Amino acid sequence: MGRLHLYASLCASTLVVSFSARAQTLAEASDLPVLGETTPAALSVAPPAPASPQPARPVINAQVGTRLALRVQNPTAGRRNEVSDVGSDGEAEVVLWGNVHPFLKWQLGVIGRYGDSNAAAGADLLDLVAKMELAGPLNVWIGRMPMPSDRTSLSTDWSIATWTLPGSYSFYAPISSNGPRFSPGPRYEKNDRGDGATLWGQVGGGTFKYYAGVFGLGEPSTSPLYTARLSLSLLNPEPGFRTSSTYYGTKDVLAFGVGAQHRTGDSLRPLGNSFVPADFNALTADVLFEKNGGTAGVLNLEGGFTKLWGDGELASYQAFGLVSYLLPIDIGIGRFQPLVRLQHAGKGKALDAGDFTGAEAQLGYIIDGLHARLLGSYQYSKLQGQTENAILFGLQLLSHAR
C-alpha cells in the first residue's frame, strides 16, 4: 500500500559528504567544482614557475529524503468509497553521486519502503548511473535512471506539488486484476525508473533540452522501449537532466514539452488465460506556468496530455490539469498552499478497459519548498465502475543544499 526506507544510516558517517548546489530533486544535482591541489613554491632567488594544473579530486556527494503518509480509506474491494480504515506507509531514499574525472561521473541511489501491501518492507536499487558529460549539449547516461517522456517522469514524486504522479487513481490494489497491466499514461518501469541509456543535452543553460533514450535492456526476451523528449523553458532555464513540477516561487517558469514512446509487443491484450502482444505507442505534451507575484503570492498552472495506442491498453488517453496558489503570508514557520488537480483517462481497446476519473483537493503547508512540506488531501476517483474516496496526510523531508 505505501512505502518507507529507513536506510539513510547506511551512508553518511564514513563518507566525505557535500550537498548539491541546486538540490531541486532528490536523485540528481550538479556536481560541485573541485579545485586541484597546489603545492608551495620551492625556495629560489628566481620567481617560481607556475604550477601545472592538477586533475580534479574525486568527491562523493550525498542527499537523503523521506516521505511518510497516513491514508484513510477502506481497502476492501467494493468498499473503497468508505473512509473507515487507517493505514500508513513511507519511503526513504539515499542518493550518492560524484566524479572520477571532469567528464566521467556516477550516481547510486537506494530506496527503502514500509507499508506496501504488495511487498515486504525492505531496500531496493533506485539509481545506478554512469555519466559521460562531455559538454552541455552532449551527455550520455547509462544504467538505471528516470525515463524521459513527460515532465513528471523527470520530476518523480519528490518534485511535484501533489503526492502522487498523474495517472494514479487508486490508493489500493492494481488498476486491473488481469495480469501485468500499466496505469494510464507514459510507460514507467519499477520505481518509476528504467534500465538503459539516454543521450541528452541542453542549450542556453537549460532553456532548450533534448532526450533520446532506449530502455528495457535488462530484459533480453522483450524489445527495447524507445523514448524521446524535447522541452523549452522561456522565462528561466531549467538546467540538468532532472526537472521539477514546482519551484514554490523561487523562479518564474513558462515551459513546454513534447515526448514520444514506442515498444514492440508491449501492449498485452488478455485472451483466455494468456496475453496477446501488440505494439505500444504514446505521444505526450505538457505545459508548466509558475509566476511569483510577490505580495500577490505564487500561482502554479500545470497540464499534461498523453495519447496511447495499443490493443491491450486500459486507456486511450490520459489528461490532467492542476492549479495551486501559494499564499504570500507566513503563518507560523510556513505558508499554506491550496491545490486542485483533475484528471481523466478515456477507455482504451482492452476488453476490460474503462474510463478513469480523479479529483483531488489538497491543502499544503510549505515550510521550505520541496525540502520540508506537509499536506492533507481528499481524493475522489472512479475507475472501472468503482467509486473510491480517500483522505491522505503526507510529510516530506529532503536534505538541504549547502
d(CA 193, CA 181): 17
pLDDT digits (tens, 9 = 90+) for 244-269: 999 999 999 999 999 999 999 888 77
The values of phi and psi at residue 96, to 5°, are -115, 145
Report in angstroms the alpha-carbon separations of 210 from 155, 261, 289, 340, 378.
16, 14, 20, 30, 36
Task: Count the residues in the chain.
Answer: 402
Asked if 376 and 362 touch (Cβ cutoff 8 Å), the reply is: yes
pLDDT interval class at 173 (50, 70, 90):
low
pLDDT digits (tens, 9 = 90+) for 376-397: 999 999 987 789 999 999 999 9
d(CA 282, CA 260): 5
Report in angstroms the alpha-carbon separations of 363 from 6, 83, 239, 291, 391.
27, 18, 29, 19, 12
- CA-based nearest residue to 191, from 122, 288, 134: 122
Return the SS3 of 395. strand
pLDDT digits (tens, 9 = 90+) for 3-49: 334 333 433 333 333 333 333 444 444 332 222 222 333 333 344 55
Bridge partners of residue 358, in order along the sequence: 343, 381
Dihedral sign (CA 265, 195, 171, 341): negative
pLDDT interval class at 330 (50, 70, 90):
very high
pLDDT digits (tens, 9 = 90+) for 83-135: 888 888 899 999 999 988 889 999 999 999 888 554 556 788 999 999 999 88
CATH topology of domain 132-393: Porin (2.40.160)
d(CA 18, CA 342): 39
Query: At CA 208, angle to CA 203 and CA 212, rounded to 5?
Result: 95
Asked if 70 and 86 touch (Cβ cutoff 8 Å), the reply is: yes
DSSP string, 23-52: --SSS--PPPP-PPP--PPPP-SSPPPPPP
The cell numbers describing 90, all together, are 513511507
291-316 as b/e: b if 16+ CB within 10 A: bbeeeebbebebbbbbbbbbbbbbbb
Asked if 180 and 277 touch (Cβ cutoff 8 Å), the reply is: no
pLDDT digits (tens, 9 = 90+) for 282-317: 999 999 999 999 999 999 999 999 999 998 888 999
198 contact partners, CB below 8 Å, separation of at least 6: 140, 141, 145, 148, 211, 212, 213, 241
Q: Please state, as a whole number, how many other Cβ atoms lie within 10 Å of the Cβ of residue 167.
A: 23
DSSP string, 134-183: EETTEEEEEEEE---SSHHHHHTTTSSSSSS-TT---SSS-S-SSSS-PP
The values of phi and psi at residue 48, to 5°, are -70, 145
